[in-house]
Amino acid sequence: MNSQTPFFKSLLTLPNLLTSFRFVAAPGLLGFAWLGHQQAFMVLLALVFLSDVLDGLAARLTGQVTEFGATLDSFADLLTYMTIAICSYWLWPELVMRELVYVALIVGSCLAPPVAGMIKFGLLTSYHTWLVKLAAASVGVSLFILILGGPVWPLRMAAIVSLCASLEELAITALLSDPKSNVRSLWDVLRQLRQ
């Protein structure tokens, strides 16, 4: 029992707890959306996005960047974006159907890299490239802008950024012989392969 304590203690870090919040929040988001509670959904979604920003920051600041944390974050990201897609359809079906091409592009961009990683490596990849971070931020911001009555073009731009991020991750998966976590960019992978 004592030999397992350090292992479990190493999993219960601040970054991992912040990431785990997204797993706990997903049923809440679904519940609020199903019941039509738009404001509660938006508040919880803002907290979800905040936890996504803070978990990586906390990991870097505390020196607790781990493979487990990166993988947990990837699972949480995938769950979050699929939950957002479902909830958005329940809450704003007309909007989703009107922008279906862009919504499908974002969802497809979230799904394609993990599927490719599962096919090639048998596990979920967790690259967390700069372009993926930009895509996540742009999707989050554009969603709030759109829902609060703003223009639709930020969501469309976010879809294009998401597509570019997905293509970069697919290229990284194609180039790597073994999975790696926390890859900054395709350029870094190409540079390492040349060396």
Give the DSSP H/E element, type plus range, for residue 87.
helix 67-91
pLDDT band at 7 (very low <50, low <70, confident <90, very high): low
Copy the structure tokens of residue 137.
């931020």
How many whole angstroms separate alpha carbon 175 and alpha carbon 59? Answer: 27
Question: DSSP of 143-170, one letter per residue?
Answer: HHHHHTT--SHHHHHHHHHHHHHHHHHH
Say what the pTM is: 0.88
pLDDT band at 9 (very low <50, low <70, confident <90, very high): low
Judge whether residue 5 has pLDDT over 60: no
Q: By percentage, how much of the chain surpasses pLDDT 70?
A: 95
CA 7 to chain centre: 26
pLDDT tens sequence across 98-128 = 999 999 999 999 999 999 999 999 998 999 9
Judge whether residue 23 has pLDDT over 70: yes
Q: Which of 117, 141, 118 is nearest to 127 (CA)?
A: 117
Judge whether residue 164 has pLDDT over 80: yes
**What is residue 195's predicted lDDT score, i.e. its pLDDT?**
82
Average pLDDT over residues 12-28: 95
**What is residue 30's predicted lDDT score, i.e. its pLDDT?**
98
Average pLDDT over residues 134-143: 95
Q: What angle do CA 151, 152, 154 make, to 5 degrees?
A: 95
**What is residue 40's predicted lDDT score, i.e. its pLDDT?**
97
Residue 127 DSSP code: -
Residue with token string 């976010």: 158
Average pLDDT over residues 59-67: 88
**What is residue 1's predicted lDDT score, i.e. its pLDDT?**
46
Q: Where are the domains of the chain?
A: 1-91, 94-195
Average pLDDT over residues 72-99: 95
Mean pLDDT of the chain: 92
pLDDT tens sequence across 30-57 = 999 999 999 999 999 999 999 999 998 8
Contact status, residue 51 vs residue 21, Cβ threshold 8 Å: yes
